[in-house]
Homo-oligomer: A and B are copies of this chain.
Amino acid sequence: MVIDSHYNACYWFSYRRCESAFLPIPMTTIRTVAERAGVSTATVSRVMNTPQQVSERTRSRVETAMRELNFSRNSFAASLVTRRSDCIGLIVGGLSGSFFAPLVNIVEETVSAAGSYLIVSCGKDSPADVLAAVQFLRQRQCDAIILFPGQLSDAALQDLLGIHPNVVLIHRSIAGFEERCVQVDNVTGARLAARYLIDCGHRDIGLISGPAANPESAQRLAAFAETLAAAGVVLAPELVFEGDFRLASGRQGMAELLASGRPLSAVFCLSDQMAFGALDYCRAVGIAVPERLSLLGFDDVEYAELVHPKLSTVQQPIALLARTAVEIALRLALSKPSGGPQPLLTPQLMIRDSVRRLA
């Protein structure tokens, strides 16, 4: 964490004595410090913000006073005048699904490396929740907001981006706002998956998708079906199950696909979580993976390598995704010129053990 480093370094332990409503002991302010050091408040402020502009002597006097008084700057007062909060907001649907966790982690790292800090809102899944979160972060004067749009429709996002100039989207691209959207190339990802399955000799292919309303899912599904079709393979509607990206729906999807009675040699799951669910179901009913059924995921979460068989999957470049989003956000925060429309990030096929090459 590299924040206000020249400043912070000296005053680890400064604090406000007590903010109780009942015992409003006054906190140390720059005035107290100024008096003690025999300088003006402006000088104290300078010591914190532009120490080069203060003579060595005065500076050390001020710093001593700060230490002696356990001074800690009130950043709200500062933000009130600078109109910058040095804070970036992040809104994600939920942390549990091991896809978001590394994302948040990397976002935090990148943000704090830039000297800003991160406010996280998670568990916001419904459109109303997301909107509320945006509103909330704006009240908190976040310099920019990174939004993982979840189930929000493209239309709603279009409005949102129009109204809030400092919102950047992760995992979705909205026409007219491409320079604030960071997205993985779902089409390429799905094609990779389709070709690989076909190359391995699979013809009876099923798919477990995300929510139909989710554009990510829709893109992947369409590109997958299309690539299959181009190779003369049809994706039977009975072999497409609509899940919700989560584990349980993978289990359920697998059950339904199997129950359809159609021949089935491979299933493409639009998230690793669902692939895990499918895998779990297979194990429960005694279907060997990949011997009797092949499974291919999407995301490449940490655990893809830990399940048995190790899950073959389409890898999303999460770190790159996160870092790019933060970069854009930081630029917006400084009102710097946009870097132009963002290129789609390219996913990569991770071949492991869950897909069998048919003889």
Contacts and interface: CB of A to CB of B under 8 A. Distances in A.
A276 B105 contact: no
Nearest to A123: B109
A141 B76 contact: yes
A60 interface: no
A231 interface: no
Interface string A122-162: 11100001011111101111010000000000000000000
A68 interface: no
A119 B122 contact: no
B98 A105 contact: no
A75 B335 CA distance: 21
A118 interface: yes
A72 B79 CA distance: 16
A49 interface: no
Contacts of A108: 95, 120-123
Contacts of A280: 306
A50 to B, nearest CB: 16
Q: Which interface residue of A15, A75, A135 has the most chain B CB atoms within 10 A?
A: A135
Interface string A1-27: 101100010011111111111111000
Interface in A152-201: 163-165
A126 to B, nearest CB: 10
Contact of A101 (B1, B14, B16, B101): B101
Number of copies of this kind of chain in the complex:
2
Interface residues of A, number: 76
Given A19-B83, A122-B105, A141-B74, A136 B3 contact: yes
A75 B276 contact: no
Nearest to A118: B120
Nearest to A18: B165
B135 A72 contact: yes
A84 interface: yes
A119 B121 contact: no
A172 to B, nearest CB: 19
Interface in A72-89: 72-77, 79-80, 83-85
B163 A13 contact: yes
A112 interface: yes
B14 A138 contact: yes
Nearest to A132: B1
Contacts of A98: 98, 101, 302-303
A241 B24 CA distance: 52
Contact of A1 (B104, B120, B136, B335): B136
Contact of A135 (B14, B84, B165): B14
Given A12-B131, A118-B121, 14 more contacts: A3-B136, A12-B134, A12-B135, A14-B135, A15-B165, A17-B165, A21-B335, A75-B140, A76-B76, A76-B140, A95-B101, A98-B302, A117-B121, A119-B120
11 contacts: A13-B163, A19-B83, A19-B84, A72-B135, A76-B79, A96-B101, A108-B120, A112-B121, A120-B120, A303-B303, A306-B307
